[in-house]
Amino acid sequence: MELEGNLSASMAVADVLQFLGLGNMSGRLNFSFGLERGLYLLIVNGKICGISSLDSSNVIGKILLTYGYLSRVEFIDANDQYTRIPVQNRPRTLLTFMVLRQIIGKQQADKILQRAFEDEVLELFNHKEGSFYFEKIPPEVIEIPYQLRKLEVDQVIMEGSRRSDEWERCIADIPSMDLIPCVKSYDRRLLTGETRLPQNVWKVYSLINNRRQIQTLCEMIGLGTFVTVRCLHELLTEKMITFETPAIALEQANLAHAEIIKVCEERAKTLALDADTPIAIVTDMTNEFIMKLDSMFDLAAKWTKISALYPHTEMLFFTSNGLNSVFYSLTLRKVKEDIHFLNKCTSEILYALTQLVQDVYRSKALEKGAETISQILTQLADKFRERANALQTQYPDFSFDDILERMTPPEVREMMTTGNGN
């Protein structure tokens, strides 16, 4: 039996799927959405077993970025490598290529495929117009290109309808993904821990800098577009943020930044956050290193440039006393269950701090001599080592010696190894 028609209020995606599910039908359900690329679902005995868009590098790229599996730079680099391979020698999909090159593991790739599969199917419910055509095919003839967990039609309809309704409510207040979420005034009770936000909402809130568009936030946070937008809508409902155009957002960014710096400085003085962290240790050591070498160093300008490359570094704020890690420590407390998010933030911040120290090191090496700067760094390491050792049980992956080595520019390490340190 063949089935075809146009999507409308009386014949939505849910209605088509329900009809095929109740009939335990098997075949290919084709969709066309105007000028957009068409796609099809593979259905076996009334269950959804595949979707054609999984072969698209754009779809896989969206999952890799929005769920935080890769950074945008890592994805672009991998995709460039993939497209440079001659077509006849190229693996069937970008994801297969990434597994072969060990950019991601096989188990991780399976999770990515399943997540992409479920997200793509649920996204069909956002389409209110278009056409469909069902081609009946015997189940034993249907070829499923990936090993995916089959989706029950009833569950898909229930979740898809719920998300579609919630998405409609969100976009009624958030009409464009190009708008910039802005924190007008930081709630002091929130920053001092007296007011709580759900974990996912805090993750979104912590990365709002009054400069990033919604789409950029969706790619950074690793929650997926739907959950990120839902969290932004919750913050909007609570009147904690607004959505602005770039010009207005920039003006508010300067005011908000000045306010959070003041709160962070007050928070540091109260010592209410008594738990030490690797970030706090390396931040304090970086501040002292810069002050010893160059008290006139324009740290604010340099950190702004670094933050543009490594967005999670904005959890450290520049204050009159140097970089302040209080906001990071607060975020650590509020999202401590999400190890993937925290590891991503922590590794990015640590890398940025070592790069900052390397830049200062290079700028002063000719003037003071690499050996002198190395001695200063070693003295600081001795001072902070006790704090670092105290964290070994809580942070077993944190290697203070590794951080110390990365603070010295590689060319300086090589020069000192050969005995030409001065």
Q: Examine the pLDDT at 159 and tell me if it is beyond 80.
A: yes
Contact 207, 316 (CB under 8 A): no
Q: What pLDDT score was predicted for residue 40?
A: 92
pLDDT at 420: 56
Q: Measured between alpha carbons, how far is 79 from 73 in angstroms, rounded to an integer?
A: 10
Q: How far apart are alpha carbons 336 and 121 in whole angstroms?
A: 31
The residues that bridge with 318 in the sheet, in sequence order, are 323
Q: What is the pLDDT of residue 199?
A: 80
Q: Are 109 and 99 in contact (CB under 8 A)?
A: yes
The answer to whether residues 60 and 93 touch, using CB atoms and an 8 Å cutoff, is yes
Give the model's confidence band at 75: pLDDT under 50 very low, under 70 low, under 90 confident, else very high. confident
Q: How confident is the model at residue 273 (pLDDT cuts 50, 70, 90)?
A: very low
Looking at residue 54, what DSSP letter applies? G
**HSE-up of residue 125 (Cα within 13 Å, Cβ side):** 23
Share of the chain above pLDDT 70, in %: 86
Entry field: residues in the chain: 422
Instruction: Identify the CA nearest to 225 among candidates 145, 119, 361.
Output: 119
The first and second tokens of residue 84, run together, are 């440079």
Structure tokens at 267: 């928070």
Biggest distance spanned by C-alpha atoms of the chain: 84
Distance of CA 399 to CAs 263, 283, 396, 405, Å?
31, 15, 8, 10
Phi, psi angles (nearest 5°) of residue 243 = -120, 125
Q: How far apart are the C-alpha atoms of 71 and 344, rounded to whole Å?
A: 10
User: Can you give the pLDDT at residue 53?
Assistant: 85
Distance (Å, whole) CA 421 – CA 408: 12
In sequence order, what are the beta bridge partners of 27?
Answer: 43, 136
Find out whether 422 and 370 touch, Cβ atoms under 8 Å.
yes
Strands 322-324 and 317-319: antiparallel
Tens digits of residue pLDDT in 357-387: 998 898 888 788 888 888 999 999 999 999 9
Distance CA 235, CA 227 (A): 12
Question: Nearest Cα to 266, choosing from 328, 192, 195, 318?
Answer: 192
Ranges of each domain in the chain: 3-169, 174-264, 273-412
* Residues 146 and 54: beta-carbon distance below 8 Å: yes
Q: Give the pLDDT confidence score for residue 297 in this predicted structure.
A: 79
